[in-house]
Each structure stands twice: as structure tokens, then as C-alpha cells.
């Protein structure tokens, strides 16, 4: 009997944790158009929800408030299905799975929605098919799916360089439970145009010590081009920065989602009411 030929008794649920770039330094534009970056990844408690259940074949269903944004994707382009098929092939899995994605995070928003979903799919399917999560092939699959997927697979605080796919785990104990607010003005901010708008100036490296201290001393080099493309990013950042109790306010990834870390849940909850009611908001904590 091959790997994955057995059946789990119940469905398995994993969270596609929202990814936060506490800082993001762009160091160089490479000849192939990609960029060398340094970043600190952290993850929110909440995100998309991915459910897998035993089945003879792979099936995929998307529900939730942002399901419509993925209607144009097929099984060859959706990262969840690509992850599932790659895992099947790498481990010679005979079983299938019924996969259901509850899409709660906005797309093209700088918080790793698709990458987080792929990471959650790999974790959930490893449990469903009784595969070894420590196997090096899992990391290879993640890296082949996208630069952020290796970080989203582990969903732990990490320092990263290269294209964001070379990870060094950091001690995130001081961040765990820190109140976090995410806001998005509801305008997609595609990664490609934002990176192309970077001015090409290397403003220096990112520290790799205490993650919060390194983040506070850092920056997001993609904020200026994102603000040029989506002016509402500047409004969201200014709103977050002036709230009482804010420790750090910054844009995540290539935008347009902005976040703030707060000294207390009371301060975070008060800031929710200050944001525009039509903006997407996620009131959560770091894990």
C-alpha cells in the first residue's frame, strides 16, 4: 500500500495565516527581473481556512467573501491545486482529497493569500495522507510554488533574503500575542508593477537580531511605488500611525494592506473604529 492510500476518519482544517512583512528591504534588481530582498516574516493568527477530507480524486471548491476574485483561476494556475498535485507526485500518493478553501483574505493585497493557502494545503494534506512533514521534498515543493510559500509553509517568524525564500528562523516569542490590525482600502495592488516602480536605490541591509527591534529600525522599500499606484495606501498608513498605542505602522509586502502593532488590545480595538467602514479590516494578533 503506497503513501496516502489510507483514509483519515475526519476532515482536517488548517489556517492560511495572513503573512506580514514587518520590514522589507529591496537590495537589487536582478538580470531576470526578480529582486534580491531582505525581509522579516511574521504571521497573524487568522487568515483563510482550508479544509481537506478523504476522497478518491482531487477536487477543489472555493467559498467565502473573496471567492469571486479567484474565479478566473483553473487547476493549473491555482496554488492550492498545484501544491496538492506536486505533493501527490513527489510522494507517489494514490489517494485524492476534497479540498475546500474559505477565502477570507483579499487578493493581491501583500499578505500572502495565495502563498498562505498553498502552505496550508501542504500542511493539511501531509496530515491527511500521513506524509512526513520533515521530508526535504516538502520544502522543495514550496520553493517551486513561489517565493513566499516556504515561509508560509512554516508560518513562523523568520528572517529571509534572496527572493524571500532563504529562511532563517527567528525567536518570535516576544511577538506572540501582540495585538495586530490589518486594513486594506479594497484596491488590488499587483506585485509586478509595484516592484517595477522601485527606484533601484539600495538603502542598506536589514538587521537580523530581535525581530521587533530590527523591524522598527527597518522600512518597506515598496511603500513609495505602492503609494504612487494606490494613493489610499498613504491614507491608511497615516491613519494607523496616528492611533494611540501604535508601536509600528507599515505596509505589508507590495501592498495595499497596511498593518499596525499595538501596545494593547484596547488600543487596537479603538483603532478599528477609526478606519473607514468600507475598508477591509482584520482585528487579530501575531502568532
**61 plus 192 within the same structural domain:** no
Considering 145, 169, 193, which residue would you say is the last residue of a domain? Answer: 169
Q: In this structure, is residue 7 part of a structural domain?
A: no
Residue 11 CA to residue 51 CA, distance in Å, equals 7
Which strand (E) or helix (H) includes residue 17? strand 12-29
171 has catalytic annotation: no
CB proximity list for 245: less than 8 A, separation 6 or greater: 262, 263, 264, 266, 267, 268, 270, 271
Cell of 172: 518570535
CA–CA separation, 10 and 107 (whole Å): 30
Whether residues 90 and 223 share a domain: the answer is no
Q: Which of 48, 148, 161, 221 is catalytic?
A: 148
Q: Which domain holds residue 94?
A: 12-169
One domain for residues 43 and 149? yes
Q: Are residues 194 and 165 in the same domain?
A: no
Are residues 189 and 284 in contact, defined by beta-carbon separation less than 8 angstroms? no
Is residue 252 domain-resident? Answer: yes
Decide if 48 contacts 120 (C-beta within 8 A): yes
The CATH number that applies at residue 141 is: 3.30.230.10
- The domain tally of the chain equals 2
Do 27 and 125 share a domain, yes or no?
Answer: yes
Domain boundary among 142, 169, 196: 169
- At residue 223, the pLDDT reads 98
Residue 209 corresponds to which cell in the numbers above?
A: 537580531
Q: Are residues 136 and 203 in the same domain?
A: no
> Known catalytic residue: 201?
no
CA–CA dist 19, 22 (Å, integer)? 9
Do residue 118 and residue 186 come from a single domain? no
Check whether residue 40 and residue 113 sit in a common domain.
Answer: yes
Domain end marker among 123, 143, 169: 169
The closest alpha carbon to 236, from 219, 222, 255, 254, belongs to 255
> What is residue 179's predicted lDDT score, i.e. its pLDDT?
98
Q: Does residue 174 belong to any structural domain of this protein?
A: no
Residue 4, in any domain of the structure:
no
Using alpha carbons, select from 121, 129, 236 the residue that is nearest to residue 185.
236
> Based on the domain organization, do 74 and 151 belong to the same domain?
yes
pLDDT for 33: 86
pLDDT at 264 (0 to 100): 98
State which residues of the chain have pLDDT below 70.
Answer: 1-9, 75
Task: Look at strands 96-102 and 158-161 and give their pairing.
Answer: unpaired
**27 and 86 together in one domain:** yes
pLDDT at position 6, please? 47
CA angle centred on 285, ends 117 and 120, rounded to 5°:
15
- Annotated catalytic residue within 19, 46, 48, 161: 19
Same domain flag for 159 and 249? no
CA distance 85 to 87: 5
Residue 264 belongs to domain with CATH number:
3.30.70.890
Tell which phi-psi region holds residue 130, choosing left (phi > 0), alpha (psi between -120 and 50) or beta: left
Q: What is the pLDDT of residues 114-125, one digit of tens each?
A: 999 999 999 999
Same domain, 73 and 194: no
Q: Is residue 263 part of a domain?
A: yes
- Whether residue 75 lies inside any domain: the answer is yes
Amino acid at each position: 500500500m503506497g503513501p496516502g492510500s489510507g483514509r483519515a476518519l475526519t476532515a482536517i482544517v488548517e489556517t492560511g495565516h495572513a503573512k506580514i512583512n514587518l520590514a522589507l528591504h529591496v537590495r537589487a534588481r536582478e538580470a531576470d527581473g526578480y529582486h534580491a530582498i531582505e525581509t522579516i516574516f511574521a504571521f497573524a493568527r487568522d487568515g483563510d481556512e482550508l479544509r481537506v477530507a478523504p476522497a478518491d480524486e482531487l477536487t477543489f471548491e472555493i467559498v467565502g467573501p473573496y471567492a469571486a476574485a479567484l474565479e478566473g483561476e483553473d487547476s493549473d494556475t491555482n496554488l492550492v491545486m498545484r501544491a496538492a498535485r506536486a505533493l501527490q507526485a513527489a510522494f507517489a500518493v494514490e489517494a485524492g482529497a476534497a479540498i475546500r478553501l474559505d477565502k477570507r483574505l483579499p487578493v493581491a493585497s501583500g499578505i500572502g493569500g495565495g502563498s498562505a493557502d498553498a502552505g496550508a494545503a501542504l500542511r493539511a494534506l501531509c496530515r491527511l495522507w500521513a506524509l512526513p512533514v520533515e521530508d526535504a521534498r516538502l520544502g522543495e515543493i514550496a520553493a517551486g510554488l513561489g517565493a513566499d510559500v516556504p515561509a508560509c509553509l512554516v508560518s513562523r517568524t523568520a528572517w529571509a533574503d534572496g527572493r524571500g525564500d532563504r529562511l532563517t528562523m527567528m525567536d518570535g516569542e516576544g511577538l506572540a500575542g501582540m495585538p495586530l490590525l490589518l486594513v486594506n482600502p479594497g484596491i488590488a495592488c499587483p506585485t509586478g508593477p509595484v516592484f517595477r516602480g522601485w527606484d533601484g536605490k539600495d538603502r542598506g541591509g536589514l538587521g537580523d537580531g530581535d525581530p521587533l527591534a530590527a523591524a522598527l529600525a527597518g522600512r518597506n522599500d515598496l511603500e513609495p511605488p505602492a503609494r504612487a499606484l494606490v494613493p489610499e495606501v498613504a491614507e491608511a498608513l497615516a491613519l494607523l500611525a496616528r492611533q494611540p498605542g501604535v508601536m509600528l505602522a507599515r505596509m505589508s509586502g507590495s501592498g495595499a494592506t497596511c498593518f499596525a502593532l499595538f501596545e494593547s488590545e484596547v488600543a487596537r480595538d479603538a483603532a478599528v473604529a477609526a478606519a473607514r467602514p468600507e475598508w477591509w479590516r482584520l482585528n487579530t494578533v501575531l502568532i
